[in-house]
């Protein structure tokens, strides 16, 4: 999830681009770079680290104020280490085309091989350089840059928003998108392209949203949107933005948490890019190819990542038949755990910097046990200290309460269970097919469901906002989800909440129940529904009020039945999770709490 900007106009392009990057820095920040076209040709300045590092290099690079056309990038690494060579913009062999990219080109490996066999050299490890060199190849013998881009994009699979300049055509910029955001800003004598509106908001509020499959050409005084295949013009509507910059960074949402909840369909899509083969009905995780199928999986994590691990256990055991233990990292590290040959420790961490999780994985490595990292931040300590690493591709998560990161972890855990199930032959073809098709269709289904979910969350949260305590109840894989629902509620609304296995109620907690102590139940149409239902009847018999996430057509009589769309098997988690997140969000917002930065909490717990 990188930030990109392109500028063609009457102002010096470099300061406009750098200022734009600053307002996009929340999208990613492990390296940054700018390319600009001036009389002497194309110049590129890029550097590892935050934008301040790039600015130092720019200051040392002499006069950069002549160029009126430029492109720039702030990176959130997906391929290759976050270093200067992998930083964008990338340049083609002729030194004339430069490009920035946000997204993932799935077939970059085979394209790279093809280009190498034709004599192209690669300096970086990125998929971006591959796509650029493919465009450059198509440009040979092609007068139109748009045509070259179009031809190259027809060979590329995956997600992208690209912005490109050509030293032979100063004053012009090209861009295209598929599954990665791209917007165009229309000024007077200047036009902009960016991954997000804040990049150009100080200059213009007139915006055109670029859609998948569109290709754009701009100059200072013109703009054109075309179909990326036929190059026929596409009519576009110009929108006027009324938000301020801060609101725009939140995409018009009131809080980052809400924005991140609504990003989840995109997160699932990014996570699955290159990993799901819908033709062959299988999953591909080349990162795991060199590892044996573990004899036992030991998951070590904290907080929300721990809940994701607990949920994953069900799939590892059911589909891959791998015995699985899940430990809170701060417990694991001090309890002298028994680890054996054939074990694999899976360390789950959004940030990749959580002190206890790191200590847990170090303990395992000291005993010669391989560690697989599942994390969101390329180059983080978890990724560096693991024997193999899988990235969750969720993009930077800003709200302290983790939402989209867990969604990406669940997606990856499911994919891993399918991968090991297919490798060991323990999963049957029908399940595999249902899972692959279900995952493929999931982003759209969730996108459709989220707006109504938010409305329901708002209505129900108002009724319960004065509660002092909540029990969250679930069974099977919905038990860890109930723990996550409780964690979300307590961390942002400060209402006490506990997640409980519904079947455990009668062993103690039911004593708490009275008309002022509500329960939030997960009672979906699955094998355990009859069991959950009888647990809820027991609660009702003690006067307890119940909100239940459920499906239509079920015989369930509760105070507030929250009907969720049906989803196949474990995919129901992807409907349950945002409902839990939205309930916590709406409660906290209604109570006037600081949703994005709750008291006493840090985004990343890097000390013990």
Return the structure tokens found at 89. Answer: 């913009």
Long-range contacts of residues 165-169, Cβ cutoff 8 Å, at least 24 apart: 165/6, 165/35, 165/36, 165/37, 165/42, 165/69, 165/70, 165/71, 165/97, 165/98, 165/99, 166/37, 166/96, 166/97, 167/37, 167/41, 167/42, 167/95, 167/96, 167/97, 167/98, 168/96, 169/145
Residues 244-273 that bind ligand M6R (CB under 6 A): none
Q: Report, in Å, the least distance between residue 586 CB and ligand M6R.
A: 16
Helix/strand/coil percentages in the chain, nearest 5 = 40, 25, 40
Q: Which of 60, 31, 36 is nearest to 46 (CA)?
A: 31
- CB nearer to ligand M6R: pick between 434 and 604: 604
Residue 207 main-chain phi, psi, to 5 deg:
-130, 140
Q: What is the nearest approach in angstroms of ligand M6R to the Cβ of residue 106?
A: 26
CA dist., res. 273 & res. 198, Å (int): 27
Distance CA(162)–CA(132), nearest Å, equals 9
Q: Which lies closer to ligand M6R via its Cβ, residue 151 or residue 603? A: 603
Q: Cα angle at 567 between 561 and 571, to 5 degrees?
A: 110
The beta strands (E) that lie in 364-480 are given as 371-375, 388-391, 469-474
CA distance 311 to 577: 11
Pick the closer one to ligand M6R by CB: 215 or 361.
361
Identify which range of 25-33, 80-88, 206-214, 598-606 contacts ligand M6R by CB under 6 A.
598-606
Select from 304, 411, 456, 461 the one that contacts ligand M6R (CB under 6 A): 304
Which residue in the shown chain puts its C-beta closest to ligand M6R? 303
Minimum CB distance to ligand M6R, residue 256 (Å): 12
Query: Taking CB under 6 A as the rule, does residue 330 contact ligand M6R?
Result: no
CB of 406 to ligand M6R, least distance (A): 8
Contact 29, 74 (CB under 8 A): yes
Say which of 147, 224, 236, 603 is annotated catalytic.
603
Question: Please, which residue, 191 or 409, has the CB nearer to ligand M6R?
Answer: 409
Least Å distance, CB 491 to ligand M6R, is: 6
Q: Which is nearer to ligand M6R, 429 or 601 (CB)?
A: 601
Among 305, 392, 411, 467, binds ligand M6R (CB under 6 A): 305
Least CB distance to ligand M6R at residue 301 (A) = 6
Shortest Cβ 350–ligand M6R spacing (Å):
3
Total number of residues binding ligand M6R (CB under 6 A)?
16
Q: Hey, what are 139's tokens? A: 């440009």
2 is catalytic: yes
| Helix axes 573-590 and 404-424, enclosed angle (nearest 10) | 170
User: Residues 464-503: x/- map of binding to ligand M6R (CB under 6 A)?
Assistant: ---------------------------x------------
Helix (H, G, I), strand (E, B) or coil at 600: coil
* DSSP per position, 309-369: HHHHHHHHHHTS---EEEEEHHHHTTS-----TTEEEEEEESSS--HHHHHHHHHHHHTT-
Closest to 517 in 3D by CA, of 558, 564, 458, 470: 470
Binder among 103, 198, 303, 395 for ligand M6R (CB under 6 A)? 303
Q: Which stretch binds ligand M6R (CB under 6 A): 184-192, 217-225, 302-310, 426-434?
A: 302-310
Catalytic residue from among 2, 302, 324, 375:
2
The site map against ligand M6R for 556-585 (x = CB under 6 A) is ------------------------------
605 binds ligand M6R (CB under 6 A): yes
Cα–Cα distance for residue pair 460/462, rounded to 1 Å? 5
Question: Which x/- pattern over 342-361 shows residues binding ligand M6R (rule: CB under 6 A)?
Answer: -------xxx--x--x----
Q: Helix and strand tally (H, E) in the chain?
A: 17, 26
Binders of ligand M6R among residues 368 to 427 (CB under 6 A) are 400-402
Stretch that binds ligand M6R, among 45-53, 93-101, 197-205, 299-307 (CB under 6 A): 299-307
Tell me if residue 295 is catalytic: no
Taking residue 311's Cβ as centre, other Cβ atoms within 10 Å add up to 26
Q: Which residues are near ligand M6R by CB under 6 A?
A: 302-305, 349-351, 354, 357, 400-402, 491, 601, 604-605
Catalytic residues: 2, 603
């Amino acid at each position: 999830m990188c930030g990109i900007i392109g500028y063609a106009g009457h102002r010096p392009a470099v300061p406009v681009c750098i200022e734009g990057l600053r307002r996009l820095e929340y999208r990613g920040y492990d390296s940054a770079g700018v390319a600009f076209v001036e009389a002497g040709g194309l110049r590129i300045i890029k550097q590892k680290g935050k934008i301040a590092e790039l600015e130092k290099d720019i200051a040392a690079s002499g006069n950069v104020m002549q160029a009126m056309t430029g492109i720039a990038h702030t990176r959130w690494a997906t391929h290759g280490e976050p270093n200067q060579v992998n930083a964008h913009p990338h340049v083609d062999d002729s030194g004339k085309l430069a490009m920035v990219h946000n997204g993932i080109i799935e077939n970059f490996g085979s394209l790279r091989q093809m280009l190498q066999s034709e004599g192209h050299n690669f300096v970086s490890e990125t998929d971006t350089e591959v796509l650029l060199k493919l465009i450059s190849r198509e440009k040979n013998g092609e007068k139109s840059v748009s045509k070259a881009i179009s031809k190259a994009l027809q060979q590329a699979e995956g997600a992208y928003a690209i912005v490109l300049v050509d030293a032979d055509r100063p004053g012009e910029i090209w861009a295209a998108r598929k599954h990665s955001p791209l917007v165009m800003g229309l000024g007077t004598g200047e036009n902009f392209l960016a991954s997000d509106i804040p990049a150009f908001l100080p200059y213009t509020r007139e915006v055109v949203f670029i859609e998948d499959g569109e290709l754009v050409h701009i100059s200072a005084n013109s703009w054109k949107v075309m179909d990326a295949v036929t190059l026929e013009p596409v009519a576009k509507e110009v929108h006027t933005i009324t938000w301020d910059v801060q609101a725009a960074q939140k995409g018009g949402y009131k809080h980052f948490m809400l924005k991140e909840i609504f990003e989840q369909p995109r997160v699932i899509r990014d996570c699955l890019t290159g990993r799901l083969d819908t033709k062959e009905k299988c999953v591909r995780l080349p990162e795991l190819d060199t590892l044996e199928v573990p004899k036992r999986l030991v998951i070590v994590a904290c907080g929300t990542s721990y809940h994701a691990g607990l949920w994953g256990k069900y799939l590892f055991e059911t589909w891959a038949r791998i015995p699985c233990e899940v430990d809170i990292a701060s417990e694991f590290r001090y309890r002298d755990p028994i680890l054996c040959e054939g074990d694999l420790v899976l360390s789950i961490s959004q940030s990749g910097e959580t002190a206890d999780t790191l200590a847990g994985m170090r303990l395992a490595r000291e005993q010669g046990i391989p560690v697989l990292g599942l994390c969101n931040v390329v180059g983080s300590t978890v990724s560096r200290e693991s024997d193999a690493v899988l990235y969750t591709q969720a993009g930077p998560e800003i709200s302290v309460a983790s939402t989209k990161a867990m969604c990406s972890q669940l997606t990856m855990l499911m994919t891993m269970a399918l991968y090991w199930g297919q490798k060991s032959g323990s999963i049957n073809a029908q399940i595999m097919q249902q899972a692959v098709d279900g995952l493929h269709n999931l982003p759209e289904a969730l996108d459709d469901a989220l707006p109504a979910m938010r409305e329901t969350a708002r209505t129900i949260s108002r009724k319960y906002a004065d509660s002092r305590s909540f029990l969250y109840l679930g069974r099977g894989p919905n038990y860890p989800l109930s723990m996550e629902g409780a964690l979300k509620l307590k961390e942002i609304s400060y209402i006490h909440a506990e997640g409980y296995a519904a079947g455990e109620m009668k062993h103690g907690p039911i004593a708490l129940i009275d008309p002022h102590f509500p329960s939030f139940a997960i009672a979906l149409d699955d094998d355990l529904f009859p069991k959950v239902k009888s647990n809820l009847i027991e609660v009702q018999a003690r006067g307890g009020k119940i909100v239940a996430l459920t499906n239509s057509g079920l015989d369930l009589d509760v105070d507030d039945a929250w009907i969720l769309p049906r989803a196949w098997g474990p995919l129901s988690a992807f409907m349950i999770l945002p409902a839990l997140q939205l309930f916590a969000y709406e409660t906290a917002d209604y109570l006037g709490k600081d949703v994005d930065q709750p008291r006493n909490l840090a985004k990343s717990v890097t000390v013990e």
